[in-house]
Amino acid sequence: MELTNLAPIVLALPLLMFMIIGLFGYKMTPKFSGILGTTAFSIVTIVCYYIALTYFFGSGRLADGSMAKEVIFNFEWLRFSENLVISIGFLLDPISAMMLIVISTVSLMVHVYSMGYMHGEEGFQRYYAVLSLFSFAMLGLVVATNIFQMYIFWELVGVSSFLLISFYYTKPSAVKAAKKAFIVTRFADMFFLMGILILSFYTQTFDFGPLTEVTNNHVAIVSETMGGVTFCGLSVISIAVFLIFLGGAGKSAMFPFHIWLPDAMEGPTPASALIHAATMVVAGVYLVARLFPIYFFEAHDVLTIIAYIGAFTSLFAAVIACTQTDIKRVLAFSTISQIAYMMVALGVSGYEGNEGLGFTASMWHLFTHAMFKATLFLAAGCVIHAVHSNEMDAMGNLRKHLKITHIAFLIACLAIAGIPIFSGFFSKDEILVAAHEASPVIYWCQTLVAGLTAFYMFRLYYRIFWYNEPDYGHHTPHESPANMWIPLMVLTVYTCTSGFFPFTEYISPDLMGFESHIHWNIAIPSVIVALIGIGIATFMYKKKTEYPDKVVACIKNTYHYAYNKFYIDEIYLFITHKIIYKCICDPIAWFDRHIIDGFMNLLSWITNKTSLEIKSFQSGNVQQYAWVFILGVLSIVALTIYL
Amino acid sequence: MDYSNFIIMNHELSLVVVLVALLLADLFGKNKRIFQFFAMGLFLVHTVLGFTHWNIGEASAFSGMYVTSEIHVLVKNILNIGTLIVFIFAFYWNENKNKNQVGEFYFLTLSTLLGMYFMVSAEHFLLFYIGLETASIPMATLVAFNKNKKESAEAAAKYILTAAFSSAVMLFGISLMYGACGSLYYGDILIKFQSTPLHIMALIFMFAGIGFKISLVPFHLWTADTYEGAPTSVTAYLSVISKGAAAFALLCIMIKAFANYPGTWQTFLWWIIVITITIGNLFALRQKNMKRFLAFSSISQAGYIMLGVIAGTPQGMAAMVYYVFIYLFTNLAAFGVISAIENKSDKLTMDDYNGLYSTNPKLSFVMMLAMFSLGGIPPFAGFFSKFFIFAAAAEQGQYLLVFIALLNTIISLCYYLWVVKAMFINKSENPIPTFNSDNMTKIGLIICTVAMIILGFISPIYDKIIAISFGM
């Protein structure tokens, strides 16, 4: 089959499903809509796999050994000027092909899993409709041929994320969380749009083709049109790409835009697995990777800033994750920390050959993280399904009741902790190698984060599956139905195996690929750190002991700050309510209510008064009519002649 | 005498045939119902035949006093369609309340139509004046048709007095023009006209006479009283057909006779448009009687129509003809609803319309469409006609004028929506009871409703008009 014919299916089918289930879902039984959505998405998944595998193992490898950048189709949608065109197209290159696999796999698993998890929920059809919309938007985002198409789908994933977080819209907390997520990401997207506008203003193109074309260590179109242009002493290129990065930071929950992600856990757990763990939140990483040549060659300072922001965020989130008691929030902070890891990898990456390891590692970690984090979320979903609570205190000793979930969770925990043979070990190792080559500060910071990650993940693991069994009452937890544990198992298989795929040969910034091997000098310390983390967790949480309380008592203040997420939310609230609302919004509202409305009322009052005043002209006297008539004629004559 | 001259007067000749046939039928026919069908059928044939006259192209007769071209044919066809719809709405009234004068109603109406044909086709002020008078004098009789009603007689008296007055002023203007230019042909005046006080005075006196027909401020004072007193069908005819014909004739005069001094007449026309729209709106705001209300609304609509004249370009002419075409359906729909309600319940004030939706939802719906269309709310036809006429004026740099007109549409929306509010929102103790209109009224309302909804979307209409329009 020709890819040209297949590729449109990837976008068209989910959109079609969204429309069909969205419009006619209320006439279907919930089960039918679920099966319809899942079947259709299975086809999409097969097509995605076909496209990606054909690309990686067939048409993608060019004669000179580099990977191709193919534009499968690209039609003009909106023409602004001679050069500036928005197209909707399908770009196939190593990272978009990889993303096709990530999105289709996780999304299909979530489709299947939700049939069990969401069973009996009100709005089941709506859930599936939005799931299709999200899949459409996310697929459209990764295959975008130009930055504006990416922006359009970027907003679409934002909308579907909003719709899924607010799925339980009768719950005030869900509504609040959805609003928060939408406003925070939208706020960041504003910078993204500004960045796009600046970039396209100078380069006169949206197309990724020219924007990522590297010649002689320069992105020609950018350096020729924007090189040397400064604004407030800063290079315009740096400003533009930093603004674009801010957009990515919003979606990928980088500090200080991270505040929406923990709250977004109000949504259904499978949706969290898909959107807020595996796919949408890595869009920011994907965006930076997509424009990597510009960042690397034209705005290296920004890339360094990205590395430091990433390093700080990963440490910051990891510390908070150690203190949270809601299992989904622990996973959310872990997600923030891991995405920041990917950002760090991009930030420290080089470009050519082996130096591009950071970039490769970032994409690799994106892949493995998507798999094990989705596993963790789906397993957490099974746990929540069994005990009907998100709080750790309601859990304990579940390994006896949920055997399959226990195994899946354990494997995913080992993977995220970076224990050898599991996928996370490989990708994390590459990131640390890249960081080690770039900067010792970042390297040690990331190693510390690796230890913390192992600690909080195993804290979570022990609290759920070991620890002391709480009183479950009559309701003994039991294993989930097959349509929930089968997807879990499939993702676990990916978690175990995806480390062995030779990513470095296929994905690299210069598209050439390179050989890689495990750097034991980096790997051994990181594994030891991880094992220490696991050891401490085992010591403190395998059984109920007094150690956790003692530790908390020792570092009471720090614990308190971390538990309250360092009061970032409160700072935001203070700035918005006390400063922005009080000092800007209130005066504007007053101005609107009194000056603008008052002026309008004055106008209507004048109109009314005038019409009352001139009423007497229409007296009914025909003599007067003739008088006005002739007077009118004469005055017009006078006016025309003398003016 | 060259009789081939007559051949190009297709519309006029066939209308004369219709008139004679009606006169005879009225003499010998006894059954008024059959007579009405006969009259309408005959006029329908005349209307349909009118559409076959496109092929004449440009031609003139009587030493150039009479001209015709595709746009003239089109305007006459539009007048025909309007008249036909007026007849449809008048059917019930003729049958029940006007039994003794049915023949006269048709005969007089069609006589005025004949006068309008000549007005439109005139290329000489004398022919124009004859056309104008032919269109005016029978109208006075029509206004007085409700003989036993005092208001009708009063309206007719006011109309005939003002008409005579304006006619005198106009004739004075024409004679001054003759004295100044030595000819009454538009073409000759175009060459000889100058910007001297005498010429300007002649122009404005003449303009006042037409301004009276279109009811531009300050020549509008008769409008409200006459509209209120006249039978509703006649009011509808006056407000749409008579106004449209006069506006087109004015545009032709301005383009053909005074194109060399556009600054002169555009200046005063600018002021007249502004005060016409504004005063029309301000008075409409105060009206409680629906017919009076529509009278003032039609005054302000006349101001909008004049925007096409002030543009003076082919676009202006096309936009104006299009405006009249749309306005015809819209305003006739409003009058159709009013006359349907008046026929059944004799109620005419806006307060009577309270709660109409609960009893007569379909009528309320048509009325709402008409009000939306008059107010220029998209996507109804009235929006497109307003859009084109504003665009035509703006193209000539009349930004301030268009801005004032736009401001006025806001005021006009206010009173148009009052009617809608009365029907849909206001509650009433005793709303107009539910009734079934006669079939003729239904047909008329359906035609108008369909036209209001879809005409705006049929772009070939405007394209056709602009293809045959001319300008300065």
Among A614, A632, A639, whose Cβ lies nearest the Cβ of B282?
Answer: A614
Which chain A residues are closer than 8 Å to B165 by Cβ?
626, 629-630
Chain B interface includes A599 (CB < 8 A): no
Q: Is the pLDDT of residue B268 over 70?
A: yes
Please list, in sequence order, all residues whose beta carbon lies within 8 angstroms of the beta carbon of residue B195, skipping any fewer than 6 positions away. B261, B264
pLDDT 10s digits, A129-156:
999 999 999 999 999 999 999 999 999 9
Q: Is the ipTM of this complex over 0.90?
A: no
Q: Is the pLDDT of residue B302 over 90?
A: yes
**Cα-to-chain-centroid distance, residue B389:** 17
Minimum mean pLDDT range among A289-298, A555-564, B230-239: A555-564
Q: Name which of A621, A625, A631 to mutate to probe chain B: the one with the most chain B Cβ atoms within 10 A of its Cβ.
A: A625
Angle CA B133–B138–B141, to nearest 5: 135
* Residue ranges with strand state E in B18-148: 59-61, 66-68
Is B253 domain-assigned? no
Is B445 domain-assigned? yes
Q: Is the pLDDT of residue A1 over 70?
A: no
Q: Is the pLDDT of residue A455 over 90?
A: yes
Q: Are A90 and A143 in contact (CB under 8 A)?
A: yes
**pLDDT band for position A478 (cuts 50, 70, 90):** confident
Q: Are A496 and A411 in contact (CB under 8 A)?
A: yes
Long-range Cβ pairs for the range B402-406 (8 Å, 24+): B402/B307, B404/B274, B404/B277, B404/B278, B405/B273, B405/B277, B405/B303, B405/B304, B405/B307
Chain B interface includes A608 (CB < 8 A): yes
State the Cα–Cα distance between residues B184 and B130, nearest whole angstrom. Answer: 13
Q: What is the pLDDT of residue B110?
A: 95
State the Cα–Cα distance between residues B196 and B200, nearest whole angstrom. Answer: 6
Q: What is the pLDDT of residue A67?
A: 86
Q: What is the pLDDT of residue A410?
A: 93
Chain A interface includes B12 (CB < 8 A): no
State the Cα–Cα distance between residues B305 and B214, nearest whole angstrom. Answer: 10
Minimum mean pLDDT range among A102-111, B24-33, B300-309: B24-33
Is B370 domain-assigned? yes
A71: phi then psi, degrees, rounded to nearest 5: -100, 105
Q: Name which of B206, B267, B282 to mutate to probe chain A: the one with the most chain A Cβ atoms within 10 A of its Cβ.
A: B282
Q: What is the DSSP string of A196-224?
A: HHHHHHHH---BHHHHT-EETTEEHHHHH
**Interface contact A630-B212, CB threshold 8 A:** no
**Interface contact A607-B197, CB threshold 8 A:** no
Q: Is the pLDDT of residue A473 over 90?
A: no
Which chain B residues are closer than 8 Å to A611 by Cβ?
282-283, 285-286
Q: What is the pLDDT of residue A612?
A: 84
Q: Is the pLDDT of residue B336 over 80?
A: yes
Chain B interface includes A611 (CB < 8 A): yes
pLDDT 10s digits, A40-74:
999 999 999 999 999 988 888 888 888 888 888 88
Residue with tokens 């006069």: B246
Q: Is the pLDDT of residue B235 over 60?
A: yes
Mean pLDDT over the full length of chain B: 90
pLDDT 10s digits, A402-437:
888 999 999 999 999 988 889 889 899 889 999 998
Closest residue in chain B to residue A618, using alpha carbons only: B221
Is B4 domain-assigned? no
Closest residue in chain A to residue B264, using alpha carbons only: A640
Among A607, A622, A641, whose Cβ lies nearest the Cβ of B282?
Answer: A607
**Interface contact B200-A640, CB threshold 8 A:** yes
Is B77 domain-assigned? no
Minimum mean pLDDT range among A351-355, A472-476, A510-514, B64-68: A472-476
Q: Is the pLDDT of residue A518 over 90?
A: no
**Interface contact A643-B267, CB threshold 8 A:** yes
Q: Domain range for residue B425?
A: 261-472
Work out the minimum CA distance from A148 to partner chain B, whole angstroms.
32
Q: Are A148 and A89 in contact (CB under 8 A)?
A: no
Q: What is the mean pLDDT of residues A183-194?
A: 93
Provide the token pair at A183. 């406003």
Provide the token pair at B410. 């806001």
Q: What is the pLDDT of residue B2?
A: 66
Chain A interface includes B169 (CB < 8 A): yes
Residue with tokens 């006479």: B209
Q: What is the pLDDT of residue A395?
A: 85
Which chain A residues are closer than 8 Å to B204 by Cβ?
633, 636-637, 640
For chain A, report the end-to-end CA distance as a whole number of angstroms. 80
- Total of domains in chain B: 1
Q: Are A3 and A54 in contact (CB under 8 A)?
A: yes
Closest residue in chain B to residue A626, using alpha carbons only: B162
Chain B interface includes A43 (CB < 8 A): no
**pLDDT band for position B1 (cuts 50, 70, 90):** low
Residue B150 exposed, middle or buried by CB count within 10 Å (0-12, 13-18, 19+): exposed
**Interface contact A640-B208, CB threshold 8 A:** no
Is B142 domain-assigned? no
pLDDT 10s digits, A228-245:
788 888 888 999 999 999
Any alpha helices (H) in B195-313, and if so which ranges?
Answer: 197-214, 222-229, 232-237, 243-257, 262-284, 290-311
Long-range Cβ pairs for the range A225-231 (8 Å, 24+): A226/A199, A226/A202, A226/A298, A227/A298, A229/A202
Work out the minimum CA distance from B304 to partner chain A, whole angstroms.
19
Closest residue in chain B to residue A612, using alpha carbons only: B286
Among B161, B204, B264, whose Cβ lies nearest the Cβ of A633?
Answer: B204
Burial B65-78 (b: 16+ CB within 10 A, else e): bbbbbbbbbbbbbb
**Interface contact A611-B285, CB threshold 8 A:** yes
Q: Give the domain ranges of chain A.
A: 3-563, 569-642
Q: What is the pLDDT of residue B297?
A: 93
Closest residue in chain A to residue B412, using alpha carbons only: A607
Closest residue in chain A to residue B168, using alpha carbons only: A630
Is B448 domain-assigned? yes
In this prediction the pTM is: 0.67
Q: What is the pLDDT of residue B74?
A: 93
Which chain A residues are closer than 8 Å to B208 by Cβ?
629, 632-633, 636
Provide the token pair at B187. 């073409």
A604: phi then psi, degrees, rounded to nearest 5: -70, -30
**Interface contact A624-B224, CB threshold 8 A:** no
Is B384 domain-assigned? yes
Mean pLDDT over the full length of chain A: 89
**Interface contact A610-B282, CB threshold 8 A:** yes
For residue B295, which of A618, A588, A330 has the smallest C-alpha distance? A618
Q: What is the DSSP string of B153-177?
A: HHHHHHHHHHHHHHHHHHHHHHHHH
Question: Is the peptide bond preceding residue B218 cis, with omega within 30 degrees of 0?
Answer: yes
Chain A interface includes B156 (CB < 8 A): no
Q: What is the pLDDT of residue A6?
A: 87
Which chain A residues are closer than 8 Å to B167 by Cβ?
none
